[in-house]
Structure 1
């Protein structure tokens, strides 16, 4: 299953100045730091703490629908009850196999807890405790605001700074940083004059492939190919901070470890509680619109990426971008083709 955001970002539920937006932003920071937060919904309130790094509040823990289905439970958001032990709960949250005892379908607070963990790039499993036991000063957020936050955030990208940058691929690009309301950036690398039907690559950050030259994926090769194309033909590379198909570097490395145990890239993400692809393209669509583009030729083999931009009002003509097949990435590319529908 692929994460999708609705097409209408013109009137998100939250705006960046709303107290609810600010509360969620601060709650993400707390979860990223391993500190519990209070999640409210109506008269209900629960204290939630990330399983990877936060204190264990009890034996009650949230699981996403993906993780529940992987463990053989109903594929729905779930709360499990187990021994309040970190090793036991961590195995239920992210091991390649685990036994689950008592469990029940989760409500909106548990859904919001998992979403907070995802946005903080933690494993999306949170232990739950009584809000009345929260220390003074514990931050709180409303479940509805948590679940609306991504929509609101995607609409806040604004150009902050630009400069010409000479590229090794053979041209000078105008590079612009588009910053959102909490400091995240989409980087637009533009070569030449752009107009309707411009050649575009929307590239998700990959530390291992783009920077380290990993042979495990084709990300670095695709980035270099795309930069070469725009340097010779003109066009844009949008560099987006969606490492590991949107799960973050630490979780990507956890997924790599599961792949070493025999899981493919899709099942490894699902085993950790994520969709097989957590990326969304709302921010990219917003940036393209600000660049004056409503119709593009998109360098991609991924029909989901094309569809994601189309939901943002961008007319897309896919253009293949085929990198080399090697013994190290052959299985990865085969999974992209057979399980994710990439045109390879």
Structure 2
């Protein structure tokens, strides 16, 4: 089978994430203004989509406060810079068990379990063009933390996202998650065109080798649109992997803190590097309106 690289690529920038990265880099945006400014810088560098988490401005820890999301969105709107906004809906599915001898009750440190409606409160209020749907449950790290998304939770969240008229970006962390995505689609809970993000190289999910990437892409329905990324030092090489596999690209400080060896990154230069890689492979970089047309998104302002 010959190569089928993507010739028209859109770039998503995941600007801050929810991980404990603020202690490792002072470039990670924390306040709503900082997060908005990084989204703007990413858009000016060539990202069509900004993927947004928020953080507690006092502690830097992950948050899901609707007011913080609203402040980020208002700053972006006031800037006049056009981009597609993709708000995470992954928060509220965090379970940290007590310990290996007494897993219950869960540890309050790191546990944040919320119902479907509460997890989508900021989406319902702000109506972004896209929000994420983490399609499965997975171990993270080496301790007792589990990313928790049951089939029942996914059904409820997918139904609410659909009713809001928001496009879900289905996050696939492992091969079984793709089966869950197809199951949701077969029940009419995901509308065409389906948008998938392949999250590779995250322990203990799908590894980021080419064989595993192709195992996933070869099992995607042909009319689904996908992006793919890896983390850490493999983020930028994976730009080429994603394009070669026929997909789109994600970079940003959520997944990688470094631009070069010993050089801490900000989001704009990571996007610039991704643009250079993709264009060097013969791809055109799509802007936000082109992504809206392709993914049938409703522009909100």
TM-score tier (shorter): under 0.3
Larger radius of gyration: 1
Higher relative contact order (CA 8 A, sep 6+): 2
| TM-score (norm. length: structure 1) | 0.25
TM-score by length of structure 2 reads 0.28
